[in-house]
Structure 1
Amino acid sequence: MPSFFLAFVAALLTSTGSRDQVLVARLSERLGRAYGLLTAGWLVAALSAGVMAWAGHAVAQLLPPEGKTMLVAIALVLAAAELAWPNRMVPLMDPTRSLGAIALVLLSRQLGDAGRFLIFAIAAATGAPVLAGIGGALAGGAAVTIGWMAGAELEQALPLQKIRLALAIVVLIFGVFIGLSARGLVA
């Protein structure tokens, strides 16, 4: 059960201001709060979390314990880098109404975001990919729902880049610490 809660909290926190959340917020503002958009967001969140949890577990099975720990550290450093990367999305001029196209774009953004890297790391570290995947899917769906409900207010109400930068620093510290402990440099 810890992997469920850890994946839920980690993915929800790092999804604050994520590219997929901002995209859903902008689409919700431009197209209205369509339930099809929300449903597509939840389905994609479940799919991306499941894929990353499975991948984390599968790769971890191939590695010795020290390698598994280093894999987790690398995933955390990648998550920190994604969080620190500026989110410079162009404004939506004439967004598509195709849920399939929207789902593909959301999936491409989610598979490389910080929340999914953390789901990967938690599944690899705990050996509980199902629980990590479910926790991550619920967090991803909650993040999409927040964006869907907030619309344009999401980017106006919060300093998203500063929040993401602070999260990047915290995740990087954990990643470096875990990496150093895997190498035996920190007890």
Structure 2
Amino acid sequence: MDSFLFTLLLVFAIALGGRDQLTVAHFSDALGRSGSLLALGIAASAASAALMAWAGASLAAILPSRAAEMLVAFALAIAAAELAWPARVKRPAEPTRSLGAIAIVVLARQVGDAARFAVFAFAAEAVYPVVTVIGGAIGGGAAIALGWYAGGARLARFPLRAMRLALAALLFVAALFIGLNARYMVW
């Protein structure tokens, strides 16, 4: 249950202002708030959470416990670096009407983002990695739904960049302590 709740909350918080959320917000402005756009965003969120949880659990299963902890530390450090990187998404000049193309773009932006690296890290440490899939899918889907509903203009009013930098600092500190713990240096 802890893995589910932590993954859900962390993925939602990290995904705010992410490239995938901004992409869906821009397409929502350009194409209207269609239910199919929302559905494909949520489906892409579920697919990317499942992929990253599977990768995290699979890698952690073949590693010794201390090496798996270092894997978690590296995943969180990568998530912190991605959060600190500015999320600049160009508005589509002539938006495509192909939902398949939009789904590919959203899925590609989600697979390597900070929120999915958090799913990777939680799945590597979880006893039952499937709960991290569910938490990551719901948290990411909620962030996508918020971007779909708000649109690009409303999202621009929020201090998402400052929030992402603060979360990046917190994730880096967490990665540092987990890494030091894995090396027997903290406790």
Scaled by the length of structure 2, the TM-score of the pair is 0.97
Tell me which amino acid in the other structure corresponds to 1:177: F
Paired residue for 1:83?
Answer: 83
1:186 Cα offset (Å) = 1.0
> Percent identity of the aligned residues?
49
- Please tell me whether the aligned partners of residues 12 and 140 of structure 1 are also in contact (alpha carbons under 8 angstroms): yes
Show the counterpart of 2:143: 143
Match of 2:157 in 1: 157
SS at match of 2:94: coil
CA contact (8 A) 1:57 1:127 kept: no
Task: Give, as a single letter, the amino acid of the residue that structure 2 aligns with 1:16.
Answer: L
Distance 2:153 2:128 in 1: 37
Contact 1:25 1:150 in 2 (8 A): yes
Instruction: Please list, as runs of the form range in 1=range in 2, the aligned pairs for 1:48-87 lying within 5 A after superposition.
Output: 48-87=48-87
Q: Does 1:29 align with 2:29?
A: yes
How many residue pairs end up in the alignment?
A: 187
| Rounded Cα–Cα distance in structure 2 between residues aligned with 1:184 and 1:89 | 41
Partner of residue 16, structure 2: 16
- Show structure 2 runs of 5+ residues with no match: none
Deviation at 1:156, TM superposition (A): 2.4
Provide the aligned C-alpha RMSD in A: 0.9
Q: How does 1:83-122 map to 2 (within 5 A)?
A: 83-122=83-122
Structure 2 CA distance, aligned partners of 1:156 and 1:43?
25
Using the alignment, how far apart are the partners of 1:62 and 1:122 within structure 2?
16
Summarize deviations over 1:134-172 as a string: whole Å, max 9, x none.
000001110100000000234322011111111100101
State the alpha-carbon separation in 2 of the partners of residues 43 and 156 from structure 1. Answer: 25
TM-score relative to the length of structure 1: 0.97
User: Deviation above 4 Å: which 4+ runs of structure 1?
Assistant: none
